[in-house]
């Protein structure tokens, strides 16, 4: 995978004219007519929380930034909580466990999708994949969708979360090759042993600005015997004798660093092995 300025994603379950390589259909290079060009459009897998936290680098910027990188087209997976049919569009409210956002599909686009794709409809409480652009009007954000389709294989849900995590780690920690080079040299053996013991998060690779509470929570999750579901926030608070609110803040910090992820609910966490 190459995420240097281009998001070369896989083509897992893509439809609606999406091609591999992370580019939207119809992308053009420099236009001889001088019209606006979309040659640099990229397709990035994201979570809804990343969309809600995205920002404009300056007041005149057209696209949002995620992890200090421009995000033009995005794709995400979520559960459909509500569908509202309007005169000009259909509004879907999607929840992926990290946040909730509205997705708007203009009626003409929706009709085109119905003609060109499977007749299976997106349904409430089902899961759907969205391709589109993040937009904002006033203080409210939504995704203007090019395509929204139902999830047929639920493995795609976990696949997408893993891919979004990989891209996030790439932009926040660097490419895997550079991380491996940083572990080389005379201390390579020692670093390798630390990685084996700490699941890739030895003291050397932990961010120096991580709070003491976050370190305690991470160590608790890492060392406590558990199922694949991980540990609940209340259980962690009891084990390390911390206030539940402090554990919640530490969990948010660790999720922001890409070190843990939620499992069965928002307050049950497991280590993200890298």
Summarize pLDDT for 41-59 with one digit per residue, the tens: 688 999 999 999 998 887 7
User: What pLDDT does 177 receive?
Assistant: 61
Provide, rounded to the nearest whole percent, the portion of the chain with pLDDT above 70: 68
Query: Is the model's pLDDT at 85 over the cut of 50?
Result: yes
Cα–Cα dist 12/14, whole Å: 6
| pLDDT value at 22 more than 50 | no
Chain CA centroid to CA 190, Å: 33
Please state whether beta strands 140-150 and 100-106 pair in parallel, antiparallel, or not at all (unpaired).
Answer: parallel
Best CATH choice for the domain 43-165 from the list 1.20.120.640, 1.10.3720.10, 2.40.50.140, 3.40.640.10: 2.40.50.140
140/23 Cα distance (integer angstroms) = 27
Q: What is the C-alpha separation between 10 and 164, in angstroms, rounded?
A: 12
With 80 as the cut, is the pLDDT of residue 6 above it? no
Fold classified for 192-271: Arc Repressor Mutant, subunit A (1.10.10)
- pTM score above 0.85: no
pLDDT digits (tens, 9 = 90+) for 104-114: 998 864 454 55
Q: Which of 149, 143, 146, 101 lies closest to 122 in space, CA to CA?
A: 149
Domains of the chain, by residue range, sit at: 43-165, 192-271
List, in sequence order, every beta strand (DSSP E) within the chain.
43-45, 64-66, 69-71, 73-85, 89-95, 100-106, 127-137, 140-150, 231-232, 260-262, 268-271
Task: Tell me: pLDDT of 222 over 60.
Answer: yes
User: Both tokens of residue 56?
Assistant: 């404009």
């Amino acid at each position: 995978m190459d995420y240097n300025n281009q998001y070369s994603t896989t083509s897992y379950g893509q439809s609606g004219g999406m091609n591999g390589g992370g580019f939207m259909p119809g992308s053009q290079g420099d236009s001889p007519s001088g019209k606006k060009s979309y040659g640099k459009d990229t397709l990035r897998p994201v979570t809804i929380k990343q969309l809600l936290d995205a920002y404009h680098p300056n007041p005149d910027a057209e696209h949002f930034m995620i992890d200090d990188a421009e995000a033009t087209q995005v794709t995400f997976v979520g559960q459909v909580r509500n569908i509202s049919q309007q005169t000009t569009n259909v509004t879907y409210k999607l929840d992926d466990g990290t946040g909730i956002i509205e997705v708007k599909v203009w009626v003409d686009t929706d009709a085109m999708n119905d003609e060109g794709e499977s007749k299976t409809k997106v349904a409430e409480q089902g899961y759907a994949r969205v391709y589109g652009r993040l937009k904002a009007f006033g203080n409210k954000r939504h995704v203007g969708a090019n395509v929204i389709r139902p999830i047929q294989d639920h493995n795609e849900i976990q696949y997408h979360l893993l891919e979004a995590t990989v891209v996030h780690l790439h932009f926040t920690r660097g490419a895997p090759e550079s991380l491996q080079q940083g572990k080389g040299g005379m201390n390579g053996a020692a670093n390798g042993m630390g990685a084996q013991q700490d699941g890739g998060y030895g003291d050397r690779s932990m961010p120096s600005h991580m709070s003491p509470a976050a370190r305690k929570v991470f160590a608790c999750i890492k060392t406590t015997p558990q199922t694949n579901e991980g540990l609940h926030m209340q259980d962690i608070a009891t084990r390390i004798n911390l206030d539940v609110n402090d554990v919640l803040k530490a969990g948010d910090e660790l999720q922001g660093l890409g070190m843990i992820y939620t499992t069965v609910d928002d307050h049950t966490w497991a280590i993200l092995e890298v």
